[in-house]
Amino acid sequence: MSVSTTRVNGVTVVQVPGELTAENRGAFRDAVLNRLGEGERKFVFDFQGAGYIDSSGLGILVSLARRIREEGGELRLAGLNEDLLTLFQLTRLDAVFQISENRATALGEL
């Protein structure tokens, strides 16, 4: 699985796949860590088009958020649909992540 990343005004936008699960979390992690290793520090994970995430997927997001923070970076999540927002609220992860309504909003906030 290839993970799409783009640079927008100094921010790395990572497209979250339609499903983020134990199957593909490794590829997602590697894509983000590669960008982090190249010196990029501002990230938006764009969930537009993403519809399903399991506890493994949530776990990799928590892990990546920690890594980005440890490197002095910033992360915002954007474009989560109502179902995905529900998961973040049920797990209290909405208190861990900065969540923006959409990509444009997130870019404006970084």
Partner 1 sequence: MSRGPRRSPDAPRPPPGQETRPFLRLSFASDPAWLRPALELAGGAVRRVGALPPEDDFRFRVALGEVLANAIRHGNGCAPERRVRVRLEAVPGGTVVTVEDEGEGFEPGAVADPTRGRALGRSGGRGLLLVRRLADGVVWESGGRRAVLAFLAGCRSGARSRWSRPAAGR
Q: Which is nearer to partner 1, 10 or 26 (CB)?
A: 26
* Min dist. Cβ of residue 61 to partner 1 (A): 9
Q: Which is nearer to partner 1, 11 or 84 (CB)?
A: 84
Binding footprint of partner 1 on the chain (CB under 8 A): 21-23, 51-52, 54-56, 58-60, 62-63, 66, 82-83, 85-87, 89-96
CA dist list (Å): 82 to 9, 16, 26, 64 = 28, 16, 25, 22
* Min dist. Cβ of residue 8 to partner 1 (A): 27
* Min dist. Cβ of residue 91 to partner 1 (A): 5
Q: CA 15 to CA 20: how far, in whole Å?
A: 11
Q: 37: burial class by Cβ within 10 Å (0-12, 13-18, 19+)?
A: exposed
